Amino acid sequence: MTTRHLYLARHGAADAFGELTGVGRRQAGLLGERLAGLPVDAVWHSPLSRAVASAHELARHLPDVPVAEAAELTDHVPYVPATAETPPSWAGFFDGYDEAEAASGRRLAEALVARFAKVPGTTSTGPRSDTHEVLVTHAYQIAWLVRHALDAPPSRWLGLNSGNTALTVIEYRDGLRPTVVMFNDMSHLPPDLRWTGFPAGLRP
């Protein structure tokens, strides 16, 4: 049975201008060390600089693995919830989003799912072999892919967050529902590098 293994990671810690910091580089390097034992076929990254730098930093530990941009991984709001769907803690966040912006986010979210949330296709000689791909992206995109894998309502992406370089793994197999193997795992990071990317009040 052909399986697509997606290793999803939020970029490393970034500064107020969206550039990867020294902490972010350390985080990305440690994630690369963790992934080094896997048969990774490709590293895909968002076009944004913090994700680009994170992808290339972790790829130093994955010799000969191609690294490429995927526009679908860029940071965007995948779904703007109706007022009744919006948790109180998100009140006001979506103020100012017009229909054009919401529609653009939906299109990007649909493209993200269409490209990555499926089993590998077939070739002229038959089914493809298993694939292992690393996606370096943003918290909202990881939340959207996890929500999709769980077949949860669209607004449930709001209840998911990811720390910088935390690892989420989803597997896609022919004829089966997607499997969320792990979510937001930070065991490759020492305690002082964990829980960045979260509001301070959410850190244990």
Written as six digits, the tokens of 162 are 């990811």
Helix or strand (DSSP H, E) at 56: helix 49-59
- ∠166-177-163 over CA atoms, to 5°? 10
Domain boundaries of the chain, sorted by first residue? 3-202
Start-to-end Cα distance in the chain:
40
DSSP one-letter code for 51: H
Q: Among 25-34, 46-55, 169-178, where is mean pLDDT lowest?
A: 169-178
Model confidence band, residue 151 (pLDDT cutoffs 50, 70, 90)? very high
Distance CA 20, CA 13 (A): 6
Please give the single-letter amino acid code of residue 68.
A
pTM of the model: 0.94
Mean pLDDT confidence for 76-98: 91
Residue 180 near residue 170 (C-beta atoms within 8 A): yes
Written as six digits, the tokens of 134 are 């690393």
Distance CA 30, CA 58 (A): 7
CATH class of 3-202: alpha beta
